[in-house]
Structure 1
Amino acid sequence: MTPTASSTTTSTTTWGYFKWAIIVTVVGLALGAWLGWQSSGTLGGMASVFFICAVLAVLEISLSFDNAIVNANKLKDMTPVWQHRFLTWGIIIAVFGMRVVFPLLIVVIAAKINPVEAVVLAAAKPEEYARIMQEAHLPIAAFGGAFLMMVALKFFFDADKDIHWIGFLERPFKYLASIKGIEVAIVLIVMLIFSSMLDDDKAVSFFFSAIYGLVSFLVVEVLGGLLDASQKTMSAAAKGGLGAFLYLEVLDASFSFDGVIGAFALSQNLFVIAIGLGIGAMYVRSMTIMLVEKGTLAEYRYLEHGAFYAILILSVIMFAQTLVHIPEVVTGLGGAVLIGISFWGSVRFNKSNSE
């Protein structure tokens, strides 16, 4: 009788985590099918848009699973109040801001038109809209690559880090962490290497965009520390939340760059892309909260390491995409494989230490 009750509780809790994600999936796919019917007037067109929305959702989940783990690592130190704010306000910023407003702003800036004209362009001339987005890929990839590389290196270059998954790589990083600014130096060297392989105009755009990404990380780190430090005199419910919230939102934005640009390979319709990526973002948020509340990161000790290795590789891929095209499926599967291996390593560790 007891196992059944426990199983029911677990099942109910899991449903609670993914309830809104499932509801958004049903509504989103139905809306996608309606858009397909409106644009084509055929069952085939309706099925095609429905399928694209579903594929985009899966793509977003696969690309952002490491993001969920990193978010969970930050969220576990936040109060329930700020966890809730991240899940509510954060999802509005992630879905509406990054999947709708951000692509529109790129076109507004690149084409020097107003937001209304950008929306009209997205609806009436999706091919032109997609072309402008693709032309903006280089600076976006440079910015996101620099920011994510700093995120990953900050995890590995930590003098207090005492759990190592790939010891022969990670132990030297721990000892080198005492060198001030070593992460910044590494990112700058990588930026110089990639910019040297680009044409002059592209090299300038790449380097300045990457510098902005690097500076953004440093500003968010400093600002986040100041905000959280200023809250030490406040109530317990408000401590340690605002700075971390800001950090997570910028981190989410960096993760979204690649997915938003890559989505145009599957569809040139802004609204279809917003539906598909929005569905995926809901699952990422749900997974983040589940990881925190179930203590999964503590249970699987190498899972976090796998996520940060995936982030490091993703940052290099974003830089490399300024030189050659790398299919999004490679990016998504690469991260998923690394996280899967780290999960398997964690299970093996748990088994060996329980015997």
Structure 2
Amino acid sequence: MSGFTVLLPVHRPPAMLPLAIESVLAQTVTDFDLVVICDGAPPETAACAAEYAARDVRVRVLDLPKGERHGEAHRHRVLAEADEVERPLVAQLADDDLWFPEHLAELDRLLAEVDFGNLLQARLTPDGAVAVHHGDLADPRTRERMRTERFNFFGPSVAGYRLAAYRRLVHGWEPAPPDLWSDLYMWRAFLDTPGLRLATRFSVQGVSLPAAERTDADLAERAAESRRVAAGLLGSAGARDDFRQRAIADLWTHLDTAVTHRDQLHDAHDRAVAEIAHLTTQLEATHAAFVGAGEEAGRQRQVSLRRRARIRKLRRRTTRLRRSNAALAEELATLRASRSWRLTAPLRRLTGRRDR
């Protein structure tokens, strides 16, 4: 496809800017428009970029006031004005990172198949070690982590996208929320746009010298380190191959660790499944015993209820019998009294006559 718009934002003095620009100008892909975006940078930065623009028509300079956060809106302005026919692809480079000569060529191969993607980001630590941020945009789990967590495995210096895809997004480059990295906020816009093809190309075509690992170094010291790295890597294909091999070795170490961790997780999962099966068997036995005990308790309850019903019935009969007995006793007493009266009546009459 070819035809890149390359964004190079800068906000500080030009201590490392020349090295970054020269790594772009040394690309094997020569069809690009390099836009140096001075985001409130000091005058000497714009002057440094202007010197390159005067020597190479592919370099443009935008000397702009400081934008909100990292001046993301300035980048959007450049892409809003870019010619999609002549420059269908977009790349970006930080002023403290360096590209190898094949960077744009590898990005072009990637973007021939997808709409948004990245190359591997390899960083050189202050102690000389090479470390790779590992991940794969084609992996749904990785994309979900990027959507939902503060997780990002590549920065703008290794990212690329089609301008047509960028113009489909809900938002382009703009200031991110305070609690979110600017690049991750931008990548989420790609991840959340339906129909875009995403992938990672496992190719190391640059070196990152992150400021976060060099907080104890001033700008002059960082510039000196960048010059040493540029001289060693950009001037020697053999040195670049060695750097790539070290980066891939680090990547394999991470992969081996991940595989080991995966195997451990699988073993833990199998043990958990076996334990769950054992507990399920115990639960089923306990449940069966519980059901049996419940049924027996139900039977006993029915027996008890029947006994209680019989007792209540007997109590009612006893009550009726007592009442009947009382009535009979009362009647008998009445009869006895009546009979005694009749038997003693003649005697009373005789006694009465004698009294008169």
Normalised by the length of structure 2, the TM-score is 0.22
Q: Name the structure where helix makes up a greater proportion of residues.
A: 1
Larger Cα-atom Rg: 2
Q: Which has the higher contact order (CA 8 A, sep 6+)?
A: 1
- The structure that is strand-richer by fraction is 2
Q: TM-score, normalised by structure 1?
A: 0.22
